[in-house]
């Protein structure tokens, strides 16, 4: 696998972990859904992604 493909796969794995943690926190009642969502947005590692015929570019400050 190329270094770029490795990096993309790593970002996808990180994103999957963030989504899983969001679901876990909300379903367990540990965190209000809005705060959990804001945390997921803050931690989101993927700067851009294509889903179907749409491309999403995320702009946020670090």
Residue 1: predicted pLDDT: 58
Q: What angle do CA 16, 22, 23 make, to 5 degrees?
A: 90
| pLDDT in the model for residue 59 | 81
E-strand stretches of the chain: 48-51, 54-57
Q: What is the pLDDT of residues 46-55, one digit of tens each?
A: 888 899 999 9
Render pLDDT for 1-37 as a digit per residue (tens, 0 to 9): 555 656 667 888 999 999 999 999 999 999 999 999 9
Burial state string for 21-42 with b = 16 or more CB within 10 A and e = fewer than 16 = ebeebbeeeebeeeebeeebee
């Amino acid at each position: 696998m190329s270094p770029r493909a490795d990096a993309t796969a790593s970002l996808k794995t990180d994103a999957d972990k963030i989504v899983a943690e969001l679901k876990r926190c909300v379903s367990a009642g540990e965190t209000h859904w809005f705060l959990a969502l804001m945390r997921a947005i803050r931690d989101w590692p993927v700067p851009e992604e294509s889903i179907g015929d749409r491309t999403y570019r995320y702009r946020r400050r670090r």
